[in-house]
Amino acid sequence: MNPPVIAVLAGGTSAEREVSLGSGTACAAALARSFPTRLFDVTANALPPGLDRSRHVVFSTLHGTFGEDGGMQRLLEAAGVAYAGCGVEASALTMDKTRTKEAAAGRGVRVPKGLAFRGDAKPGVEAVVAQLGEHLVVKPNAEGSSVGLSLVAGRDALGSVLARINAGTWLIEQRIVGRELSVGVLGERAMGVVEIRPKSGVYDYASKYTKGASEYFAPAPLEPATTAAAQRAAEAAYAACGCRDYARVDFMLAATGELYLLEINTLPGMKETSLLPMSARCVGLDFTALVREMVTPAVQRFQAAAASAAR
């Protein structure tokens, strides 16, 4: 049986298009060392022209809406195209931060207290403060890369942030002050724990994508018991949301030692210096080996389907 061509999808139409193009270019170069590979620049919310279910296995690096929320996955399944990563339901669930927290909490993973709301039905400032306090995080309920993130301290600041919101679905959470951690999961096993230390004190879009704006420690300098707890929590959250193949799970470690789930990224940034590759290097996987491992289950699903069709 001839090996499939790995179709790397990059770009997309979300606010994270430029980040996705960087991920796609890096992954295509690495995958080409192990498989025939073709890079597709996705410019519409549709399957890219030239995608062939009899030849291609998709490795998507589309971040944000449509790419990560189950939209592209739904089109791929309807067209019978094999693809790596989470399926439609898990993709849609994990893109929704509120539903992710609910699912993870059901498996015993600690989550920050929060309140979801629509931009056209905003809660009152006093009601929010009474429920969650004055130190808060306000963010879109279904965006990645910290797009739209605001840290709030006090009633006036909260009122100003809410006044700027008029559409979409949003989330207000208690702010957990502590150390930010990220754990890659490959298959069903957690890899290394990475610590992020933004020099600004806030891991927002600028801190993520401005060179030198954050420091990274891989592995994170933690007590072994804390590392193990973060890995167990990552695996539990991943399983609770029905993830497959790979994902990245982010936490805050409070000064009290308690871990709080922030979110699950099913199609995280994938440059060699991104968090998931850092996590993989902690367990001895370089970037080329990592992307090969990430796509292999999809290649196996493709081959099993082809063998079944040939019988």
Over range 64-74, report the average pLDDT.
93
Q: Locate all alpha helices (DSSP H) within the chain, ordered by sequence.
A: 17-31, 71-79, 88-95, 97-105, 125-132, 155-163, 205-209, 224-240, 275-281, 287-310
Identify the band that residue 180 occupies on the pLDDT scale cut at 50, 70 and 90: very high
Q: Are residues 251 and 183 in the same domain?
A: yes
Q: 23, 91, 145, 274: which one is catalytic?
A: 145
DSSP state of 4: P
* Domain CATH code at residue 49: 3.40.50.20
Q: Which of 55, 74, 187, 209 is catalytic?
A: 209
In a domain, 10, yes or no: yes
Confidence of residue 199 (pLDDT cuts 50, 70, 90): confident
Give yes or no: residues 74 and 100 share one domain. Answer: no
In a shared domain, residues 103 and 121: no
In this structure, the answer to whether residues 237 and 133 fall within a common structural domain is no
Q: Is residue 310 part of a domain?
A: no
3-state secondary structure of 235: helix
- Is residue 191 included in any domain, yes or no? yes
Q: Tell me: do 250 and 101 sit in the same domain.
A: yes
What is the rounded distance in angstroms from the CA atom of residue 183 to the CA atom of residue 82? Answer: 26
Mean pLDDT in the chain?
A: 93
pTM of the model: 0.92
Instruction: Give yes or no: 16 in active site.
Output: yes
Q: Mean pLDDT throughout 105-131?
A: 96
Q: Are residues 27 and 100 in the same domain?
A: no
- Domain count for the chain: 3
DSSP-assigned beta bridge partners for residue 298: none
- Taking 90 as the threshold, does the pLDDT of residue 144 lie above it? no
Is residue 209 annotated as part of the catalytic site, yes or no?
Answer: yes
What is the rounded distance in angstroms from the CA atom of residue 108 to the CA atom of residue 110?
6
Tell me the C-alpha distance between 52 and 115, whole Å.
Answer: 43
Question: Mean pLDDT across the stretch 131-144?
Answer: 89
Among 248, 260, 274, 279, the active-site one is 248
Half-sphere exposure of 276 (CA within 13 A, CB side): 26
128 and 164 inside one domain: yes
| Same structural domain, 30 and 16 | yes
Examine the residue annotation and report whether 145 is marked as an active-site residue of this protein.
Answer: yes
| Structural domain ending residue among the three candidates 146, 174, 202 | 174
Residues 195 and 236 in one domain: yes
Together in a domain, 68 and 185: no
Asked if the structure places residue 257 within a domain, the reply is yes
Task: Show Cβ contacts of residue 86 under 8 Å, excluding neighbours closer than 6 positions.
Answer: 73, 94, 242, 243, 244, 245, 247, 266
Q: Which of 96, 143, 235, 250 is catalytic?
A: 250
Residue 258 annotated in active site: no
263, 274, 279, 292: the active-site residue: 263
Residue 219 lies in a domain: yes
Active-site annotation holds for 250? yes
* Secondary structure class of 155 (helix, strand, coil): helix
Range of the domain at 136: 114-174
Residue 218 near residue 290, CB atoms below 8 Å: no
The CATH number of the domain holding residue 143 is 3.30.1490.20
The span from the CA of 245 to the CA of 107, in Å, is: 20
Partners of 41 in the β-ladder: 10
The percentage of residues in the chain with a pLDDT greater than 90, rounded to a whole number, is 86
Q: How many residues does the chain have?
A: 311
Residue where the block lists tokens 């790979």: 246
Q: Is 291 domain-assigned?
A: no
In a domain, 309, yes or no: no
DSSP assignments along 194-214, one per residue = EEEEETTSS--HHHHHSTTSE
Does residue 277 sit within a domain? no
Q: Is residue 194 located within the same domain as residue 48?
A: no
Q: Are residues 100 and 232 in the same domain?
A: yes
The answer to whether 144 is a known catalytic residue is no
- Cα dist from 311 to 170, 231, 304, 306, whole Å: 50, 42, 11, 9
What's the CA gap between 194 and 186, in Å, rounded? 15
State phi, psi for 105 to the nearest 5 degrees. -60, -30
Give the percent of the chain with pLDDT over 70: 95
Residue keyed to tokens 């890219």:
48
Kindly report, residue by residue over 221-248, the tens digit of the pLDDT: 999 999 999 999 999 999 999 999 999 9
